Amino acid sequence: MRTLIAVTALLLAHWPTGPLAAQAHATMGHAGHAGHQATPATTDDSAFRALQQRGKGTMGVDQDASRHRFEDLPDGGRIELQMRDADSAGIAAIRAHLRQAAQQFTDGIFSAPDTTHAMTVPGTTVMAARKGTIRYTYHELPQGGEVRITTTDAEALAAVRQFLAFQRSDHRAGG
């Protein structure tokens, strides 16, 4: 019992509190929590800024002015991209990007996410190999659009979930 009390006291003595804890919590974000919005990049986060810049080139919209969601669903998932504010040019760019992404993904081509993330994105190798078992459907949303991903293939479903989890984490986006 004394050991448990000593360990608890030690942990509490070193538990982060105050402004530094809040800053660390905000910097880590809540990637993967459904409905939570993206955490804006901090000025010292050069890797995230580089990702945002590559994303702007790939998607045609300012990443800070738009909102990503990568949601797991029982039969696959969905990728949502919408402008935060009314911006007809941004909305049109998002819609064009997502229509093209849905077609490229259908064809087993994942060059847009690979370019944005400067690597082969986890899950895409299997998604390309199993392309015949996965369906990608584009839908317009008020401020942009979404790509709905569906499959009944267990291997493809695992790859889709891996892809979406990576996207959530790297984009610091909600579920």
Closest of 130, 55, 125 to residue 93, by C-alpha: 55
The predicted pLDDT at position 115 comes to 87
Question: Which has more confidence, 115 or 165?
Answer: 165
Element (DSSP H or E) covering residue 54: helix 46-59
* Amino acid, res. 93: A
The reported pTM is: 0.71
Distance (Å, rounded) from C-alpha 123 to C-alpha 143? 28
Distance (Å, rounded) from C-alpha 10 to C-alpha 41? 33
Is the pLDDT score of 137 beyond 80?
yes
The predicted pLDDT at position 59 comes to 76
**pLDDT tens-digit profile of 25-82?**
333 333 333 333 334 444 458 877 777 767 666 777 877 889 999 999 999 999 999 9
Distance (Å, rounded) from C-alpha 20 to C-alpha 74? 38
Compute the Cα dihedral for 90, 172, 113, 150 and give only its sign. negative
Sequence length of the chain is 175
Phi then psi for residue 11, to 5 deg, are -65, -45
CB-based contacts of 10: which residues, under 8 Å, 6+ apart? Answer: none
